[in-house]
Amino acid sequence: MLSSDTIFAPATGSGRTAVAVVRISGPGAGPALAALIRAPLPPARRLSLRTLREPASGELLDHALVAWLPGPGTATGEDMAELHLHGGPAVRAAVLRCLGGFPGLVPAEPGAFTRRAFLNGRMDLTAVEGLADLIDAETEAQRRQAVRQLDGALGRAVEGWRAVLLDVLAGTEAALDFSDEGDVDDEVLTAAGRDAAAGVRDAIRMALADDRRGERLRDGVTVVLAGPPNAGKSTLLNALARRDVAIVSEMPGTTRDAIEVRCDLGGLPVLLVDTAGLRDSADAIEAEGVARSRRRIDQADLVLWLCEPGGAAPPPLPVPVLTVATKGDLPAAASDGLTISARTGFGLDRLLGEIERFAQGALGAGDALVTRERQRLALERCLHHLDRVVAHGVTLPAELVAEDLRLAVRALGEVAGRVGVEEMLDRLFASFCIGK
């Protein structure tokens, strides 16, 4: 699916850098490069030192390393060129201005290069999502998971399952097409298909039985700081974040909106959430903050219930709770449980250790195949149809078996981005930076 437009964009950051890389992709990449160097194209897939000049005036732009990359064996599946410029902002701006003057060349939108790679079959959707996650990765565990997806861990599994189901579907449709022929045994085909579908079903079940480790690793284990007003939640958040992110005041009800901070604990991503103190309030704004706090608590992976020594125990909550006695620097702060002082640092190492151990347990030791809710929902739809095939494949009419198999294959196609993902693609590619 080659585009008639040729796109270009810087692939390196703005500002002063040692080298600035500009990428060009599309049918005009070769002519644009030849015009810039005012010479035949250099040897393919090699970096060559060339002088770049403004085509019309001959003005010197830069001495640069250039690469000519003819398609389809390129990152985007199209003809590509790369310009490795000196990294000054003015050099980069002059070259980009020159490229913008070529007919048919347009500045790339965010994610445009990756979109072309996807549309031209160089990447499936799971690999694209892996690339997006790799760009956003903040911890070592997130990086490892993203690289596995980019390398095709889920994509290969899905294509294998899809190939098996397509074979089963072909056999079922053959039984339909030749049902009036005496040499076609419909029951044998259906039984064989059922057994093959059962194997795929079991593999998908195993992939889904991961307690959502992949999604948790992408988003971070959510740890909500909760408790009554003035329990020290905001002070603790600032101490754990090692910067002032929340306002600290002796006045109860200071925190209204939830405040989020992402942390790296032993290579694991943790999302700390400071919430409003839980109490009844006549103040409408504070009451709304308390209601939001309760919702965040219900969605948490772990709640740190903060209270002063001897304070009230946490109410029954639907998630794991770790009770933490705060203000451990005060004389009356003795406690048999976990006691901390966010002001002096007393007990913080122990608290961080408890959070890290919880995160390790929540994320598990194995690698997760499923890393996004979109993938999980599509696999669950596939599983629904395969359950019907396996449970009733011998007794159901062949037409219904074939339809369930078609829908199962379609659901796997959605995982890989083959069908039904057009609206989602715009949102996904918009999250990429320009030049990616």
Q: Is 251 known as a binding-site position? A: yes
Q: Is 3 known as a binding-site position? A: no
Q: Is 76 known as a binding-site position? A: no
Q: Assign 3-class secondary structure to 273-314.
A: EECCCCCCCCCHHHHHHHHHHHHHHHHCCEEEEEECCCCCCC
Minimal CA–CA distance to 402: which of 385, 419, 387, 425? 385
Tokens, residue 203? 């593999």
320-330: b or e for each residue (b if 16 or more CB lie within 10 Å)? ebbbbbbbbee
Q: Is 328 known as a binding-site position? A: no
Q: Is 342 known as a binding-site position? A: yes
Sheet holding 321-325, edge to edge: 259-265, 268-274, 221-226, 302-307, 321-325, 338-339
Q: Is 4 known as a binding-site position? A: no
The pTM score is 0.81
Q: Is 254 known as a binding-site position? A: yes
Domains of the chain, first to last: 6-118 (3.30.1360.120), 132-210+375-417 (1.20.120.430), 218-363 (3.40.50.300)
Q: Is 82 known as a binding-site position? A: yes
Q: What is the pLDDT along the chain (436 residues), one digit of tens a residue?
A: 445 799 999 999 888 999 999 999 999 999 999 999 999 999 999 999 999 999 989 999 999 999 999 999 999 999 999 999 999 999 999 999 999 999 999 999 999 999 999 999 999 999 999 999 999 999 999 999 999 999 999 999 999 999 999 998 888 887 676 655 555 454 534 677 788 999 999 999 999 998 889 998 998 999 999 888 888 888 888 888 887 765 554 444 445 567 888 888 888 899 999 887 775 555 666 667 777 878 888 889 999 999 887 777 888 888 999 999 987 766 554 555 688 888 888 889 999 999 999 998 888 877 899 999 999 999 999 999 999 999 876 777 778 888 999 999 999 999 998 876 676 677 777 777 777 7
Q: Is 341 known as a binding-site position? A: yes
Q: Is 327 known as a binding-site position? A: no
Q: Is 252 known as a binding-site position? A: yes
C-alpha torsion sign, points 340, 345, 349, 352: positive
Q: Is 232 known as a binding-site position? A: yes
Tokens, residue 2? 């080659």
Q: Is 275 known as a binding-site position? A: yes
Q: Is 436 known as a binding-site position? A: yes
Q: Is 137 known as a binding-site position? A: no
Q: Is 276 known as a binding-site position? A: yes
Q: Is 172 known as a binding-site position? A: no
Q: Is 277 known as a binding-site position? A: yes
Q: Is 1 known as a binding-site position? A: no
